Homo-oligomer: A and B are copies of this chain.
Amino acid sequence: MCKAHPAHPGTSELVGRAIAGAVEACELPRGTFALLHGQSHRVGGSLVAQPAIRAVAFTGSFLGGKALVDAAARRAVPIPVFAEMGSINPIFVLPRRLARDATALAGQVAASVMLGVGQFCTSPGVVVMQRSSSLDAFLATLAKELGAAPEGTLLHAGIKSGYQRRLAELSAIDGVVALVPSAAVEGPCGARAALFAVDARTWLARPELRDEVFGPATLVVVCDDAAQMLELAHAHPGQLSATILGDDGDRALLGALAPILAGRTGRLLFAGMPTGVEVNDAIVHGGPWPATTDARSTSVGTRAILRFLRPVAWQDCPADLLPAELRDGGVPGLPRLVDGSRR
């Protein structure tokens, strides 16, 4: 049962019909998939309260995810809620790497920030760097790229008003500099990119800077030295992704940052931009609270199905009653663990 977002019922209907067609083509039982429309939050709340519902998956805001978790906990029989709620996806750029090609890197960051008008869950909301002449070149290029980026269309008007509110909040913080103040855009969903910079001390002192700005904005945090970069890494709450970009000469700092950030994220990148999410066996699109409500889960990739499974031991079961997966030769090619050996 899928609850469609009321802001784009048409898109939901198109996708829902495609899934319904796949259910039929795969000869799965009718009713395997259903799409439910509704304006009110009460529709989703009622679904979560239904006794027949056994688990909930959700992508959206922190407040939406938290409300579902609370609703699930109030049930007579509580159920798991896998809510993926938001992330600032920090990119740590180390000094040698920055010095090598600050300009090209700024272009990549700008493209990642603008992807999907900044609405990817893995959009880089924070870029952490050390003060240097390369930083100045990076900021100049990033400001130029984001300032020149065309107007984009956000998914719905609520996202636009939230984006504008967060931009105003950031601008009002002492020490936060708007290098590209998002230009006003007409219409209910139009938005332009924004770029802010702040020094590490201020970022560390103002926890609200760790909250996501949903939309095409990013914040460059300027550190004095490596120690401050480490301090900043420690201060990050749970993230869907964290990226560390370093060259050979950055290896010591790279090695120090990696375990700190691995403890705070579901996916740690050492190249590229976090917005590149591939559906495969190795992806983890999840992470510690508040990125998700269940750090052991991923909502993308082959492991995503584990959210909806639970183990059952069939002890001394007659062979013909066993599920096919547990029978000798029942499902060819399925990996099995038999008496401690993988078969």
**B340 and A342 within 8 A (CB):** no
**A281 and B340 within 8 A (CB):** yes
Taking the closest CB of chain B, its distance from the CB of A29, in whole angstroms, is 14
**B80 and A318 within 8 A (CB):** no
Contact of A311 among B272, B286, B321 (CB under 8 A): B286
Q: A299-334 toward B: CB 8 Å interface, digit per residue (1/0)? A: 000010010011111111110010000000000000
Select the stretch in A31-39, A101-109, A192-200, A254-262 that faces chain B: A254-262
At the interface, is chain A mostly helix, strand, loop or mixed?
loop
CA distance A77 to B238 in the complex (A): 10
Interface size band for A: 35 or more
Q: Does A78 contact B (CB under 8 A)?
A: yes
Taking the closest CB of chain B, its distance from the CB of A280, in whole angstroms, is 8
**A316 and B272 within 8 A (CB):** yes
Task: Work out how many copies of this chain go into the complex.
Answer: 2
Considering the complex, give the chain B residue whose CB is closest to the CB of A255.
B321
Contact of A312 among B237, B262, B271, B317 (CB under 8 A): B262
Taking the closest CB of chain B, its distance from the CB of A66, in whole angstroms, is 9
Interface residues of A (CB under 8 A from B): 69-70, 73, 77-80, 237-238, 251, 254-255, 258, 262, 265-272, 281-284, 286, 288-290, 293-296, 298, 303, 306, 309-318, 321, 335, 337, 340, 342
13 contacts between A and B (CB under 8 A): A69-B78, A77-B238, A77-B290, A78-B289, A255-B321, A262-B312, A266-B313, A267-B315, A268-B317, A269-B316, A270-B315, A282-B315, A288-B310
